[in-house]
Structure 1
Amino acid sequence: MTQPNSDSKATAAPWAQAENLQPEVKPWWLDPKVMLPLGALLLLLAVVVFWLPRQINPAVVQPITTTAENPASSKPSPTAAESPWTEAQLSKQRRETQDILAELLDKQRRLEKSNVKQWAEQPFAEAMATANSGDEYYRQQQFEQAKQQYLATDQQFDALLSQSQQVLKENLALGLQALADLDPTTSQTALELVLAIDPSHSQAQSALARAQVLAQVLQLAKESDQAIQLNQLDQAAAKLKQAKALDPSSTFLAEKQAELNQRLAQRNFAEQMSAGYSALQANQFEQAIHSFKQALAIKPGAADASSALTQAQNGQSLSQIALHVRRAENHMAAEQWQQAVAEYDLALAVDESVVDTKIARLKANVRLQLDQTIQTLLAQPLRLADSQVYAKAGQTLADARSIANPGPRLQSQINSLAAAMKAAQTPVQVQLQSDNETQVTLYRVAALGAFQEHALDLKPGQYVLVGSRPGYRDVRKEFTIDGSQNPLVIQIQCDEKIASL
């Protein structure tokens, strides 16, 4: 590339320099014509012409435009005709212009980072054209006009930066609405533009992720609807589950799920009711109750389910009562009164208002009391020696004999009690033997005195003999008469002397 002459330094446009990304420093060339008419001011001119221009040469800025510089088309710099003051003013204007360019570069980077060409390609191109126009003025050292063009570019960039936020907001709203309207293409396009402007926008990131799977979600929802039409509700539920795994926060899927849940509830309710009625007809009351309760869990307060549950519970109660009554009657037939009463109690625990069951229990309990009373008397026959016990036994025997058609157990008890009562009134001969020195007393009967032998007739029972003799220790003998020995021989006498004092 041919190097420009010394006048090209003032005309090199910094915007073009930034665009070419090629920093270029162009020193002033010494012009002998400048020194000839100013010989007296040689030293000053040397400073102004040779040193000062080098210090105020514009700094090279980073490239941001695409305009190429054509040195051949640049007008030659009229440096030879300029004064130091004019050069100083031009340098000042050049610095001001370069300051504006630095800001333009930063804003250009920000706009390009926000992918401005995707949402404002034409306005951005117009701003770049304005900047290139400023370059043309700059190359002609018309710095004021260049600055105005750069300022105009700055305003255009500011407008685009401001517009970027509006574009972001509008496309975010568009993307979210399209997502709600189940329009995956529009939603994805708008949200991608939002993220092109602001890649870190979390709401747009989340919404875009949903928009990207929306087509799959809609397809699965469609397949779910088709399964519903075929009454394949479980398959429909599986499809919705897959869709929700792709987009858990979808309100569209939530509404679909709610509708499907109603259908599933209705189907499950009908199935439980059907199973309950089938069990009820088969007298499987427990299973029927379980099914009707399941139906109520699905549809709380359903009148038909509540009515069916009551019917099943009543059926179960009647069945249980009948079972216990039947068992009780079997026990009564076998004269197992304790077990019969227990079964009647179980029946009344189910429903204590059943009158027949109450009456049956009373009868069973009367027989139980009679049975227990007779068994107690037979277990302790010697108690019949007591007049009160004997009288009670007589009443008990009369009660037992008054029962029509007594069973084998009761008849045996009647016979045994009658025999025991007869034995209790039959005396047994008792032979008492002593030493004729001992004074003998039969408690609650008589004082018998001293004797060698003494005969008595005593009824069955428990008796106590006491013997006493001066100088001897008293003796005591208890004996029982039960009719097993007749006659009964008992010996009593005092044999143990008391030691003398």
Structure 2
Amino acid sequence: MSDDFGEIRPKSVPLSHGGSESKAQGLEQSAATRRLGLIAALGAAVVALGVVFFVVPDLVAPPASTPMATTPDAPNAPSPASSTSDSELPPYQTLLREQARQQAQDELARFVELQLTLEDQMQVGDWGMDDYDLAKTLATAGDEEFLQEEFDASITSYKAASAALTMLIATGEGLFEQAMSAGWAALDARDEKAAQAQFASALTIHPKDSEAQRGYRRAQLLPEVNVLMRQAKNFELAGESDSALAVYEQVRGIDRDTYGLDGAIAETRRADVRNRVNAHLSDGFSALERGRLPAARSAFGAALKLHPGNAVALGGLEQVTEQTTNTRIEALRQQALAAEQAEAWQTASDRYAEVLSLDGNIRFARAGRTRAAEQARAALALSNIAAAPEKLSSKTLFAEAEALLAQAMNLEPRGPKLAALLAQTQRLIEAYRHPVAVTLLSDNETQVTLSTVGQLGSFERKQVNLRPGAYTLIGSRDGCRDVRQQIVVRADMRPIEIRCVERL
């Protein structure tokens, strides 16, 4: 008997998208919550449909069959259902039917996703309610067609509903952008009413948009901002820059993004600078007329600090310089010559350098600075030789000292201090020019090394010829601690012993 009946299969039903009016009232719910609700509704619908197909037939007794229905003479009686069961269709037709059913469900899901996006991000209101109702009507038609298993028709209806929602969203975004653009323009023009109206219009579409909310708040501040901006401008016209800047700062505290605020502040500051520059210039020329040159220079300098490159201030400084430079240069020249007479060469060099800082082309200052520098270098080098003559034991340093002495002998003028240094250096060079015979005593086991000479080896007695000066003897021997001895070579010096005796 089982072969006489086809398998009863539950039909998929569309997701419910009715009750959109109540969803529109609950915009505060998140999109995730709405999706969960729709999934739950879909599950409930499937369960209910399963009950209809599987449970109810078992609970309700079948109606009494007519004799004709139970007789073998009527084996092909029509089914109560008006449509053909899937089990009565060929396999390929069944597959196409299931594909159409799935495509219809996919189109419905797309519509629901668009609906969730619209209700979560926008508030339709008066601007698009008719179009929204039309989209829902198309979706409802798709539902009815789906339940009648007219899947191709339901696909068309769902697509039309999705297209209507897509167009509605695009229209809303366009209106929103238009209102926002007009709102910002009204803010820049400081048009109170227009700015408030445009941002209010934008908020009817996107009530949660942070930029629209910010624009609306700024529009509400415009009346106070406009009063203060006019007040600041009046202060500017009266030349009261400080007062104008103070009012502009009040505006900044209310709405720092006020259009033109930064430019107005910058212009006021420039005007304030111009006023102060003119005041300094007036003070400078007044001081110049009275011969108060330091005060004049200070005033012109203050003007240039506020306005670098100001031609009037630069001209004033030139006049000050013309009256003071010659006197200053002559005074510095006399100071430099006096320092040369006293052989205070560094002081003389400093005075000449001061002259050149005033005018780098003055010849006497350039020649004097060169002369003073040469004298100062020679005096320092000769003094260093006299302070450490033992360094002349080095052949290299001795040669450098001779060359330095030869150069210093040609310096002019030769004052008493330079002459004394030259004589002292000559004596030292002569004294250190000739080697001295030095006798070294050891134990024939200690290896001896002499600085600037090298290894001398082991010996009991050795004589070496050394230039007068300071040397270092180093002794080393296996099993003993090394010894190091400083010696100063002079004429007629006693023999020097060096040996390692302290055991390790």
- TM-score w.r.t. the length of structure 1 is 0.43
- TM-score w.r.t. the length of structure 2 is 0.43
Structure whose alpha-carbon radius of gyration is higher: 1
